[in-house]
Amino acid sequence: MSGTPNDQPAESLPQQLDFAGISSLVSAEFQVEEALLENDIPTYYLKQPQETKNAFLRLFKNLKSTNLMPVLRRADRRIVLRIVSKPPVKPSNILVNWILFFATLGTTFLTGYMLSIDGVVNPWIGGITFMVAIMAVLGVHEMGHKLTANKKQIEATPPYFIPGPPPLFGGFFGTFGAVIMQKSLPPNRDSLFDVGSSGPLVGFIVSVVAVFFGLVLSPSTYALPVGPFLPVPLFFQLAAISLSYLGIAPVGNIILLHPVAFAGMIGLIVTMLNLLPTGMLDGGHVARSISGDKVRGVLTIASLFFLVWNGYYPMAIFVLFLSLSRHPGPLDDVSSLSKARKAIIPILLIVFILCGMTISVPVHQLKVDSSLSQVRFRVYYADSMYANATTIWTDILAEGTYVISFDSSYMQNGIIYTFIGWEDGNTTATRTIALNEDISIKAFYSNVVM
């Protein structure tokens, strides 16, 4: 994620370059209809139509050695160019970046360690591999922003990694992500688009690598899925299916996620959240480079609805907070987005769908009862026993085929009872059921010799 500064207030003309000198630079690039000083700010109304994008970039470059910058806007159907003073830039304290970086290393290692205590992998190895994978996803994402900002001559901070609680404290995974802060506005819409889109695209690629590599490392078993049954991103499901054709985690097997695979899945979710077209999120930068504030307002409402619908309540509150601030836009807010960048928009949409659309494991309730109380039975999924329980028993199970097995005879209070059948007429003590809806079954016993 990358943040941008608020709209900068215009300041009066500094003394190192007079109005005539600035007007000469402006006239060399633009056709000027009217030139004047408005509140001591050099202001130029440009003739229409004329090419503005390349001319603005040349003027931006020519003014870079001064303490001035151009701002191009539309006002009352006119194109207005103002030359304002650059706002002061506070230097970054790199020590803060390093402290947060090492703190996040610690919290993500602890998360990977805790994710591995179920025996999938040695906890120390799990901690290290999860830490490396999730930091690679977040780091590459933010470096995509940083390198693009440097290329576009946008001043930006190094990445700030944000440590978070480990799973011990609920649905957390050791980090709240990372962010770079832009200290200057992008020159035009192309630059704003590039900065906004670069992070999610390269972050998605690293997440894809982590997902495939993690799935290859993940053991699988032909056993009953045990809840909670969390929805997974569409791409994650497609990756698992594609690997099944190579004999890795065949369809029907349960994948015991390696920490690297879990880090890749988190990376997909982070990519989706960043691509939301609202506020100062990456998707918000992309949306601002394409459309105006009215369209962005509609996109913000749609984003909030999407987050609430999918249960991302904390993120919805965060997005609502971000939407309260007006996006400053680029310095040149007149020139349109290039055709090449418009062609990338469908790719971003596809990435959002792959990361944002989730597939839930179908689940149903199974209730097993008997005419006698506390009768022991067993539930099998494939060759594995899921439950060895007594009636009445109820559980939420993943959709699939199960075997319910009662003993043919049962002793209670010194009396031997014989299994006589099920309430639906089936007479075998061990039966197979297809759990594709909520099912309630009841076994009957009798002490009368049949």
Do residues 395 and 226 touch, judged by C-beta distance below 8 A?
A: no
Greatest mean pLDDT range, 204-218, 280-294, 372-386: 204-218
pLDDT of the residue at 89: 79
pLDDT digits over 125-136, tens only? 989 999 999 999
Report residue 143's pLDDT band, with 50, 70 and 90 as the boundaries: very high
Domain 2-85 has CATH 3.90.1070: yes
Distance between CA 147 and CA 156 in Å, rounded?
Answer: 9
Distance between CA 130 and CA 111 in Å, rounded?
Answer: 8
Q: Which residues sit opposite 41 in a β-bridge?
A: 38
Q: Give the percent of the chain with pLDDT over 70.
A: 89
Do residues 81 and 363 touch, judged by C-beta distance below 8 A?
A: no
Report residue 415's pLDDT band, with 50, 70 and 90 as the boundaries: confident
Q: Give the percent of the chain with pLDDT over 90.
A: 40
At residue 123's C-alpha, the angle toward residues 253 and 161, to 5°, is 100
pLDDT of the residue at 5: 58
Q: What is the mean pLDDT of the chain?
A: 85
pLDDT of the residue at 9: 42
> 404 or 295: whose pLDDT is higher?
404
Helix pair angle (234-244, 189-217), 10° resolution: 40
Distance between CA 255 and CA 228 in Å, rounded?
Answer: 14
> 448 or 216: whose pLDDT is higher?
216
CATH of domain 363-446: 2.60.40.10
Report residue 119's pLDDT band, with 50, 70 and 90 as the boundaries: low
Indicate whether 356 pLDDT > 90.
no
Report residue 315's pLDDT band, with 50, 70 and 90 as the boundaries: confident
**392: preceding bond cis by omega (within 30 degrees):** yes
Report residue 169's pLDDT band, with 50, 70 and 90 as the boundaries: low
Indicate whether 450 pLDDT > 70.
no
> 128 or 11: whose pLDDT is higher?
128
Report residue 10's pLDDT band, with 50, 70 and 90 as the boundaries: very low
Report residue 226's pLDDT band, with 50, 70 and 90 as the boundaries: low
Indicate whether 13 pLDDT > 80.
no
64-89 as b/e: b if 16+ CB within 10 A: eebbbbbbbeeeeeebbbbbbbbbee
Indicate whether 391 pLDDT > 80.
yes
Report residue 178's pLDDT band, with 50, 70 and 90 as the boundaries: confident
pLDDT digits over 280-313, tens only? 888 889 988 888 767 777 888 888 888 888 777 7
pLDDT digits over 24-65, tens only? 999 999 999 999 988 889 999 999 889 999 999 999 999 988
> 324 or 122: whose pLDDT is higher?
122
Do residues 394 and 366 touch, judged by C-beta distance below 8 A?
A: yes
Distance between CA 90 and CA 70 in Å, rounded?
Answer: 21
Domain ranges for the chain, please list them: 2-85, 94-275+331-359, 363-446
Lowest pLDDT segment from 109-123, 212-226, 323-337: 212-226
DSSP 8-class letter at 179: E
Establish how many alpha carbons lie within 13 A of residue 98's alpha carbon, considering only the half-sphere containing its beta carbon: 3
Report residue 168's pLDDT band, with 50, 70 and 90 as the boundaries: low
Indicate whether 3 pLDDT > 70.
no
Q: Is the dihedral of CA 119, 123, 127, 129 positive or negative?
A: negative
What mean pLDDT do residues 183-188 have? Answer: 90
